[in-house]
Amino acid sequence: MQTAPLQVSQTQAQVRVNAFIRSVYNWMAGGLAITGFLAYYVAHSSFAAVLKNSPGLLLVLIIAELALVFSLAARVQKMKASTATSLFVGYAALNGVTLSGIFHVYTDSAITSTFFICAATFLACSVYGMTTKRDLTGVGGFMTMGLIGIIIASLVNMFLNIQGLSVIISYIGVIVFIGLTAYDTQKLKHMALSQPANVSSGVVRKGAIMGALTLYLDFINLFLFLLRIFGGGRD
């Protein structure tokens, strides 16, 4: 007698999960589109020379990016949904400006081909994270430690400038963000079930923005590490 209500409950839960995840990926795709457009536009504008000759300005933009990310992550529950949206869009736009320099380091064809490699890899990891029955919490913790190691090694290499170390960091970076993509995607399912039933509420929108930001960062970092491996450079 309880089978039908249980099936209805499971169906409703699945609808909520699907709606939330769809919203997350829509926001992530929108953020990537903004970043890609601005990166290409700035790289082919006169402002590119300004950035190239003004390392101080570039540093200010990077600091502004970090401020936006930390503000969004730390205060998202206290801010309005419209504010969270504005911060996410602003971060994606700033990231496009700071990433415009890759068009002067790598060819357009290398960037395009690497983007599709990254997209295919990201999709495969997302599908795995969404469908696997294995708990990826341990994987997420291990990959987070790997990320900390990459940051430390990259900072050290800024001073030592060891070419071989840069290559090793790039390959490890790819592995780390492949793992984080699968882990973060799996977390979306649990996050979706914790959201209010009203999918149009501000709380759900803020949750979708945070999920989108997490996957956006996974995608961008995976892309940059792959670009270092496959990009080759203009020379």
Which pair of structure tokens corresponds to residue 87? 């911060």
**Closest by Cα among 57, 64, 20, 29 to 42:** 57
Residues 59-80 have a mean pLDDT of: 87
Q: Are 178 and 128 in contact (CB under 8 A)?
A: no
Instruction: Inform me whether the pLDDT recorded for 56 exceeds 60.
Output: yes
Higher pLDDT, 87 or 14: 87
How many angstroms separate the CA atoms of 105 and 43, rounded?
Answer: 11
3-class secondary structure for 95-130?
HHHHHHHHHHHCCHHHHHHHHHHHHHHHHHHHHHHH
Domain ranges of the chain: 3-230
**Closest by Cα among 127, 112, 126 to 180:** 126
pLDDT, position 192: 79
pLDDT, position 8: 44
Map tokens 């599709």 to a residue: 116
Predicted TM-score (pTM) of the model is: 0.89
**Closest by Cα among 94, 89, 102, 105 to 57:** 94
